[in-house]
Copies of this chain bind each other. A is one copy, B any other.
């Protein structure tokens, strides 16, 4: 039996909405009609529609139907940082990554507390500056537990570390917590970034957990004030 019918329906419709093929306001076929069209049950269709709903692609109104929302007003991505990854993905913005450091060293007291490990545990430390349109704007400081990530080369750091972790190491990332705050900039910030006159810097602390709830990565992403933007889309939960 083919599986993940609901993901297939979700993907097809999210693509059509993304591409503009389905204009905002368009009414989707009813759940029963979709079930028939995909030769599946209504509950399976509902799973797909609920995904689209949760991510802001459509709105569902009882008694009326499901309607395409205006994603263009939402900018992108629906939730997350408008930062290096996204900026460099968008058309024609020249950007590059400067790997400043890739070392294996003992965690130390501060980091040991962040990662909930012993101070002596060796930890991979990767420091990268992100240059966008000729300006070094973001400083990424990544720390990985070395018992989980045995090797990290400069080459890997220059590319996508996440791809390496998921496809090569087979790690299953489950969830992450972000903490955003504004803090005075450090000497390191001033040395590695083009900070202009700004005395403060936006710090995004990221705690990444594996499926087995092990916290294996801690990241500090330090953004120049004027280039920082964060988007959050939230459905209101009724209880």
Contact = CB atoms under 8 A, between A and B. Distances in A.
B179 A182 contact: no
A17 interface: no
Interface of A: 7, 11, 43, 56, 59, 61, 67, 69-70, 74-75, 79-80, 173-182, 198, 200, 202, 211-213, 225-226, 228-236, 239
Given A59-B213, A175-B56, A213-B69, A180 B232 contact: yes
Contacts of A211: 59, 61
A175 B235 CA distance: 4
Contacts of A226: 182
Nearest to A75: B179
Contact of A232 (B61, B79, B200, B213): B79
A59 B209 CA distance: 11
A122 to B, nearest CB: 23
B232 A177 contact: yes
B236 A178 contact: no
Contact of A180 (B7, B229, B234): B229
Contact of A200 (B181, B200, B229): B200
A236 B69 contact: no
A173 B69 CA distance: 15
Nearest to A116: B73
Contacts of A229: 179-181
A232 B232 contact: yes
Nearest to A223: B182
Contacts of A79: 232, 234
23 contacts: A11-B239, A59-B175, A59-B211, A59-B213, A61-B211, A67-B213, A74-B177, A79-B234, A174-B236, A175-B236, A176-B233, A176-B236, A177-B231, A178-B231, A178-B234, A179-B229, A179-B230, A179-B232, A180-B180, A182-B202, A182-B226, A198-B200, A200-B200
Contacts of A70: 213
A213 to B, nearest CB: 5
Contacts of A7: 239
A182 to B, nearest CB: 4
